[in-house]
């Protein structure tokens, strides 16, 4: 059973058990334009919710990515580091950034479900 959450900062978190897979949303990749560089966290790194955890850059600008929940990074997607365009091509799937072992499941309640995130995006478009 998996559950999909969204942050206000346009990250998605797909939770299966105590592991969350995180990426940026379709809206985010569209707004950023062509992505040319992605910096991923080191495996084993421990983060608190809202810590700066990754960087994604377009031609024009760099954007920080913040940890949607606290935990330890278990995997980073090297495919995306090698080919940043994958994020534009499939932000919600193959363009994932990292996986995290969630240490504070209660923090999931601070994230949005798809309906709430879609409403947020509609307000910003």
Partner 1 sequence: MNNPSDTTTGDETGSMLTTPLHALQVALGGKMVPFAGYEMAVSFPLGVMGEHNHTRARAGLFDVSHMGQVRLHGDNAATALESLLPGDIQGLAPGAMRYSQLTNDQGGIIDDLMVTNTGDHLFLVVNGANKVGDLDHMQSALPGATTIEHCTEHALLALQGPAAVSVMARLAPGVEALVFMTAMAVTIGGADCYVSRSGYTGEDGFEISVPNSAAENVARALLAEDEVEAIGLGARDSLRLEAGLCLHGHDIDTTTTPIEAALNWSVPKRRRQDGGFPGADVIQAQLRDGPARKRVGILPDGRAPAREGTIIQDANGVDIGAVTSGGFGPSLGGPLAMGYVVAEHATLGQTGTDSALGLVVRGKSLPARVAKMPFVPAGYFRGQSN
Per CB under 8 A, the list member of 14, 31, 74, 120 interacting with partner 1 is: 31
The verdict on 110 binding partner 1 (CB under 8 A) reads no
The sheet carrying 52-58 orders its strands as 35-39, 52-58, 62-66
With CA atoms as reference, report the closest residue to 74 among 21, 27, 6.
Answer: 21
Give the containing element (helix H, strand E) for 123: helix 114-124
**18 or 36: CB nearest partner 1:** 36
Residue 78 CB, shortest distance to partner 1, in Å, is 13
With CA atoms as reference, report the closest residue to 102 among 55, 67, 61, 77.
Answer: 67
Residue 17 CB, shortest distance to partner 1, in Å, is 26
**37 or 119: CB nearest partner 1:** 37
Residue 41 CB, shortest distance to partner 1, in Å, is 12
């Amino acid at each position: 059973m998996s559950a999909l959450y969204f942050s206000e900062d346009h990250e998605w978190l797909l939770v299966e058990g105590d592991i969350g897979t995180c990426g940026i949303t379709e809206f985010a990749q569209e707004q950023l334009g062509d992505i040319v560089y992605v910096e991923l966290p080191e495996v084993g790194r421990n983060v608190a919710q809202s810590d700066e955890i990754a960087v994604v850059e377009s031609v024009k600008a760099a954007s920080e990515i913040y940890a949607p929940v606290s935990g330890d990074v278990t995997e980073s997607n090297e495919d995306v580091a090698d080919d940043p365009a994958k994020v534009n091509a499939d932000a919600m799937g193959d363009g994932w950034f990292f996986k995290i072992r969630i240490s504070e499941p209660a923090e999931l309640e601070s994230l949005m479900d798809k309906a709430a995130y879609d409403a947020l995006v509609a307000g910003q478009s």
